[in-house]
Amino acid sequence: MRGADRAALATALKDGANWPYPSLALAALDHDGTPLLLISRLADHTKNILADARVGLLFDGTAGLAQPLAGARVSVLGHAVPTDEPRHRERYLARHPDAAQYAGFGDFAFYKVEVERAHLVAGFGRIRWIEAADLLLPAVPADLAAREADLVRTMNDQESDAVQLFAGVLLGLPGDGGWAVTGIDPDGVDLRRGGRVGRLDFDHRVHDGEGAKAELIRLAVRARRQRQDAAAVGSPPTAL
């Protein structure tokens, strides 16, 4: 879920005898893992939600796999509820900066999905239901949430070289520069370069800003070491 910037959104068709209605939605996550949406009341899926708040979100992690059914995906079930929490707006727009162009339109509103449970398919034979308490963190880490914007700004303004190494060396993503950090949560770092996103997980879950800072330093050290090792053997350190 953390690595996906979109999901298939399933709602019950309001004027269609509750037929299942799938659509595409851009998604972000709160620090605790709660899915966040920005949707227009003019859209059929929003009309459906206003009549029946139950939704399903399919987060697909199979892109690029030769055998997609062997890849991971998770279907999240819950209720979509309007939210005016500033943090939700900030995290969503950081994940999807182009959405700022229409986020203020009168017909658009932010929603959070109050998760009931989820169905995880981690590959062939690795299938299980997960309750909300096991999918989400018990609470939003207040210190990390308060310091996230400063940490993101520092990484992009003062540690841009490390950010490029995160993308090119640790994740093998293409591009000679241009990657930026868009979010930092308890489990890792969100990256973006134009229309492409990347996700770099921490080695250990963090619960405050100092913990996140320590993990970022650890990742930067690892990336620089891997670049040096690759240069020493004459192989390219980044993706072509």
Residue by residue, DSSP assigns the chain as -TT-SEEEEEEE-TTTTT-EEEEEEEEEE-TT--EEEEEETTSHHHHHHHH--EEEEEEE--TT-SSGGGS-EEEEEEEEEE---HHHHHHHHHH-GGGGGTTTSTTEEEEEEEEEEEEEE-STT-EEEEEHHHHS-SS--HHHHHHHHHHHHHHHHH-HHHHHHIIIIIS----SS--EEEEEETTEEEEEETTEEEEEE-SS---SHHHHHHHHHHHHHHHHHHHHHHHHTT--SS--
In this predicted structure, what is the pLDDT of residue 43?
97
- Residue 27 contacts residue 35 (beta carbons within 8 Å): yes
For residue 194 the two structure tokens come to 């134009």
Judge whether 6-135 and 142-232 match in fold.
no
In this predicted structure, what is the pLDDT of residue 238?
56
Average pLDDT of adjacent 10-residue blocks, the chain of 240 residues: 96 91 98 98 97 97 88 96 98 97 97 98 90 96 97 96 96 90 98 95 96 97 91 63
Residue ranges per structural domain of the chain:
6-135, 142-232
In this predicted structure, what is the pLDDT of residue 211?
97
Q: Rounded to an integer, what distance in angstroms lies between the CA atom of residue 139 and that of residue 31?
A: 8
What are the CA-CA distances from residue 137 to residues 90, 96, 128, 133 (Å)?
19, 23, 19, 7
Q: Rounded to an integer, what distance in angstroms lies between the CA atom of residue 38 and that of residue 34?
A: 14
Burial class (CB in 10 A: 0-12, 13-18, 19+), 98: exposed
- Residue 173 contacts residue 192 (beta carbons within 8 Å): no
Block residue for tokens 């080695």:
203
In this predicted structure, what is the pLDDT of residue 240?
41
State the pTM of this model: 0.91
In this predicted structure, what is the pLDDT of residue 10?
98
Looking at the structure, give the CATH architecture of the domain made up of residues 6-135: Roll (2.30)
Instruction: Quote the CATH superfamily of domain 142-232.
Output: PNP-oxidase-like (3.20.180.10)
Block residue for tokens 């707006």:
89
